[in-house]
Structure 1
């Protein structure tokens, strides 16, 4: 009876340690990904999701590995490494959301309504109206198109490509260029999303400026803000198909994000 109880306790101990080692990657990836913020997901639900996904990842991450052979002194290093890998995954998937929010902020700054901030329930911070709208649209498309399933697939597969008990290779410039390229993608997409509206708003400013210069008695400048707001909104509605296509292409490319992370954070 006593040996059987000790064996059962040992199995429980191994399970708890394994889940603890799997948890940081899951938690950090979902914390960076702008979906599970405290404004739209209660803390208990969010933490329960983290633990549930860690339990799902446990058989994949530590299959055939006896965690009791891992030195307890290495646990902090493993946890830090797992946090970095999870943050990298969340950053690669979250860049398209930040691009949408940035584009909305640029458009609202150009149209003059950037002071009308509201809470963005998706990203959990103050944002302009167009930024909130684009952020919510991107989140809806991410969930409706199966993007979250792609994220979960990549997250769970990462435990095979970048094992929990492995160590990271030295970060080189080639590895850092992966994240630099992703930041370049973020900024370039933000400008591309906002470019049509910015062009039209600049033409409106130019036209109203010329009218005000040569016919000051008309006093058309007070009409510029509501007109620019309508034009900006209509332009984004007309461009929504292009934005949707860009989001879907990014989600398709994210299927291969593990190859990039393996090159940047290659485990050994």
Structure 2
């Protein structure tokens, strides 16, 4: 017998249905930023996935496979995981764009040695990356994008009902297309500050060439840091607009995965 039976009848059937629905929601939460960070305890993720699974079970006629632990049941579970990871990975790309821009700007400012632990990935990231991550998080929550994303997860059960969860190469090709947009946005975010830093480096080089007695490192590093901070302040509206567009496109990309 492939289905575990504890002798609770209909109650047990609803339990397995709940666990099956939690698979897609849990995979999306693990793959997404904010909710899937290392700082969020696994117990919290399970509770959030369980809460949404209860609502989905009440709102949609989702049915678990008759034999969940059979080969067909495990294939259905793998399909649920595939859909969930795809929906969460697109948001992960959106949050990675500003961090890439921070790498570019930090290199121009000479602050590559100033690193901190990134709470999203648990790895080392530039200090500017933390600032950009906070900005992206605030804008993401202020736009209500997290609510739209959860609504798209629920909508995915209508587009990809259990047993028909093969996304297909045509839909998966939209994820690399959004990744291209993410890299373009990262360059646009870093471009204004990088131009300011480029000009400062040229001026610093001319001054050091004109007066060789000056210490280039003692002059160039403070000038680069001050110019970078000034450039970040001046380019704050550009950063806000680009991040807003990036998040809007991310939600559109998630919606595009569900489009026919």
Partner residue in 1 for 2:39: 40
Q: CA deviation at 1:10?
A: 2.4
Equivalents in 2 of 1:47, 1:118: separation in Å?
Answer: 28
- Which runs of no fewer than 5 residues in structure 2 stay unpaired? none
- Which runs of no fewer than 5 residues in structure 1 stay unpaired? 1-5
Distance 1:165 1:70, change over 3 A: farther
2:28–2:84: 8 Å Cα contact kept in structure 1?
yes
Q: CA deviation at 1:247?
A: 2.8
Q: CA deviation at 1:89?
A: 0.9
The structure richer in helix per residue is 1
Partner residue in 2 for 1:217: 213
Distance 1:143 1:181, change over 3 A: same
Give deviations 1:143-192, integer Å, cap 9, x for gaps. Answer: 122111111111111111111232416x33x4343122111012111111
**2:124 match: secondary structure:** strand
Partner residue in 1 for 2:28: 29
1:61–1:164: 8 Å Cα contact kept in structure 2?
no
Equivalents in 2 of 1:66, 1:96: separation in Å?
Answer: 32
1:14–1:67: 8 Å Cα contact kept in structure 2?
no
Partner residue in 1 for 2:240: 244
Q: CA deviation at 1:17?
A: 1.6
Equivalents in 2 of 1:134, 1:167: separation in Å?
Answer: 35
Distance 1:123 1:41, change over 3 A: same
Equivalents in 1 of 2:81, 2:65: separation in Å?
Answer: 19
Q: RMSD value over aligned CA atoms?
A: 2.5
TM-score computed with the length of structure 1 as normaliser: 0.84
Q: Give structure 1 regions of 4+ aligned residues with deviation exceeding 6 angstroms.
A: none
Moved more, 129-138 or 83-92: 83-92
1:205–1:224: 8 Å Cα contact kept in structure 2?
yes
Residue of 164, 179, 183 corresponding to 2:179: 183
Distance 1:144 1:118, change over 3 A: same
TM-score computed with the length of structure 2 as normaliser: 0.87
Residue of 95, 112, 115 corresponding to 1:114: 112
Equivalents in 1 of 2:172, 2:66: separation in Å?
Answer: 34
Distance 1:257 1:161, change over 3 A: farther
**1:118 match: secondary structure:** strand
1:17–1:67: 8 Å Cα contact kept in structure 2?
no
Partner residue in 1 for 2:97: 99
2:27–2:85: 8 Å Cα contact kept in structure 1?
yes
2:67–2:73: 8 Å Cα contact kept in structure 1?
no
Distance 1:69 1:33, change over 3 A: closer
Distance 1:61 1:83, change over 3 A: farther
2:205 is the alignment partner of 1:206: no
Distance 1:167 1:147, change over 3 A: closer
Equivalents in 1 of 2:146, 2:129: separation in Å?
Answer: 21
Equivalents in 1 of 2:207, 2:135: separation in Å?
Answer: 37
2:33–2:91: 8 Å Cα contact kept in structure 1?
no
**1:62 match: secondary structure:** coil
Q: CA deviation at 1:125?
A: 2.3
